[in-house]
Amino acid sequence: MMPGAEAPGRDGADLAWRVHPAAERPGLAVAIAALIVVLGLLAGLWMGSRYWAVFACGVLFLSLEAFFLPAAYELRADGVHVGKPFSRVIRPWPAIRRMAVDPQGITLSPFRRRSWLEPYRAVRLRFRRAAAGGEDPTAGAARRYLLARLDPAEVVIEGVASEEIAAARGGAISGTGEAR
C-alpha cells in the first residue's frame, strides 16, 4: 500500500487519501496565521472595534480553509467524494467533462473548456508534497485511476501524454487519442 493512501474498498472507496497542507508545512502555517492576526488587528483598529478584528481574522482563516484544514478525497465507483470540515462534495463521473493535470494536483471540471465558473464548480484533487521534487505515489495512482475511468472521447484530458492515457486504458484510446 502506498503512503498516504488507504486500503482499497474502505467505506466503498477504490482509492482514498487525506491532505493537510498546514501540517506538512508548519513554518508557513505559523507565518500565515501571524499575518492573519496582524491584518485582523489592523482591521479592528481601522474600524474601531475588536469585534471587527475577530470577524476579519475569521474571514481570512476561512478563506484559506484549503490550507489550514484537512481534506479527505475518495475515488469511488459512483464518482469523486471530497470531505472537508465545513463541506462535502460528491461529483458523479458523468458530470466530469475535463480533467486537467498540473504539478499541484488534478482539476475535474464540469466544463469542457476553462470557465470563470470553474473555481466554484470544479473539484480540485490535492496531494501531499513529495520529497525532493518527486511525485506523491497517491497522485500517480489517482491519475491512473481517473485515466482508466474517464473516456477520452467524452472528457477533455489536459496535461497528460497520450501514451499514458493509452497505458491506463489498456492500450485502447477512443476518440483522437491525443492529450488535449
CB neighbours of residue 18 within 10 Å: 16
| Residue range 136-149: mean pLDDT, rounded | 90
68: left (phi over 0), alpha (psi -120 to 50) or beta: alpha
| Residue range 16-45: mean pLDDT, rounded | 95
Integer Cα distance of 42 and 50 in angstroms: 10
Contact between 71 and 18 under an 8 Å Cβ cutoff? The reply is yes
At position 71, the amino acid (one-letter code) is A
Residue 156: is its pLDDT beyond 60? Answer: yes
* CATH architecture assigned to 10-20+70-168: Roll (2.30)
Contact between 66 and 21 under an 8 Å Cβ cutoff? The reply is yes
Contact between 165 and 158 under an 8 Å Cβ cutoff? The reply is no
* Mean pLDDT for all residues in the chain: 85
Residue extents of the structural domains in the chain: 10-20+70-168, 24-66
Residue 103: is its pLDDT beyond 60? Answer: yes
Q: In what order do the strands lie in the sheet with 105-109?
A: 123-126, 105-109, 98-102, 156-158
CB neighbours of residue 53 within 10 Å: 19
Residue 173: is its pLDDT beyond 60? Answer: no
Query: Which of 61-70, 125-134, 153-162 is predicted least confidently?
Result: 125-134
Residue 72 three-state SS: strand
Whose grid coordinates read 467505506? 11
| Residue range 62-73: mean pLDDT, rounded | 94
| Residue range 89-99: mean pLDDT, rounded | 95
Instruction: Answer yes or no: pTM beyond 0.75.
Output: yes
